[in-house]
Amino acid sequence: MRELSEEEWIRKNLKRLIEIKSISGEERDAVSFVIDLCKELGFDKSFIDEVNNGICIKGGESFSVLMAPHIDTVPGYYDVKEIEDKIIGRGAVDAKGPLISMLLASSREYERAGINFVALVDEEGKNTGSKNLINKGNQYDYIIVGEPSNISDYVIEYRGYAFIDMECRAKPSHSSFPNSASAYEIFHNIYYTLKKIFIGEKYENPSITLTKICGGEYYNVMPTNVRAILDTRFPYPYSIKDIIKLINDVIKTNDCSYNIISSCEPVKVQPSNSIARSIARAISKAGMKPRPVRKFGSSDMNILVNIAKRGIIAYGPGDSKFAHTNYEEISVKDVFVSSKVIENAINALSKS
């Protein structure tokens, strides 16, 4: 990096990282690339753990900071492009832009902080990467989760989720003379009853969305079996137990069953926690107005809050409205500014 300015380094390596496909479960090549960058940047230790997280460590021992961006993306690769200051491609916003910003910030020198940078896998799936940190019993004083928040905002709240695999059954019937409801009709009634309960237009209300459905046996036979995947989201103070009760109350009189594929509780932290205050002050120092925000989705912050001893927030460059779309684009300048905000926040913690 000595031959490049930091912004040139960002442009070069962010583009290369986005070009490496890394959908959930297939992150190994992208993680290896990040490990090579860590070695180039002079981290004390760099390695890939048993679930393919990329881990890079450096610094002191007075207090620990976990930098936790994720490296996986949803499916849907498309050609990476550069247009003026912007880089366009799958994962540019969610969350390879935040990852490069955090990696650069992590590589800088700090007086007292021990930096643990982890490129987490499977955030878009079952949070395998962050759950592995939990299972290993790791604890950190402060955690910054790398997610797109816009460079002047920081996230203090995410909704929880439960992915539901539901199956409905019915008796066979000829489609020309149906004598009972089909499995699809049974599911349809349940789903739209739940939609009336899970009114998710406002943040405060839980939501439910059908993301996958399959069923039917033959073109002139009423469906006897339908399976569907439902994505439920819910804010604090709802819990997974509350969501299960709402679903059970609806399906108890129908021939349907379900199981939870994956889930996590919602997370909410106070904007007065120490890492949030440090980020807010660093944003102000960069000439912007800091703003705590809450997100309709979820992130590894929902998991990692359990191992943050003194504070946790999510922060990073990029507009989250572009996440999971074919229009992901991120500004190289924003990635750089975000890295400086994180650097200044950690330096402030060193002096506190």
Radius of gyration of the chain (CA): 22
Residues 328/91, Cβ–Cβ less than 8 Å: yes
Residues 60/114, Cβ–Cβ less than 8 Å: yes
- At residue 229, the 3 state secondary structure works out as strand
Output the six-digit token pair for 208: 């439910």
Note the helical H segments in the chain: 6-19, 28-41, 97-107, 128-135, 183-197, 240-251, 274-285, 301-304, 332-351
Strand 225-234 vs strand 160-169: parallel, antiparallel, or unpaired?
Answer: antiparallel
From the candidates 123, 141, 265, 328, give the one annotated as an active-site residue.
123
How far apart are alpha carbons 157 and 169 in whole angstroms?
38
Half-sphere exposure of 24 (CA within 13 A, CB side): 12
DSSP assignment of 71-85: --B-S-----EEETT
From the candidates 27, 72, 300, 334, give the one annotated as an active-site residue.
72
Half-sphere exposure of 226 (CA within 13 A, CB side): 25
* Angle formed by the axes of helices 6-19 and 332-351, nearest 10°: 110
How far apart are alpha carbons 300 and 316 in whole angstroms?
14
Please indicate whether residue 123 is annotated as part of the active site: yes
State the DSSP H helix or E strand holding residue 166, giving kind and residue range, or none if neither. strand 160-169
Please indicate whether residue 85 is annotated as part of the active site: no
Residues with catalytic roles = 72, 123
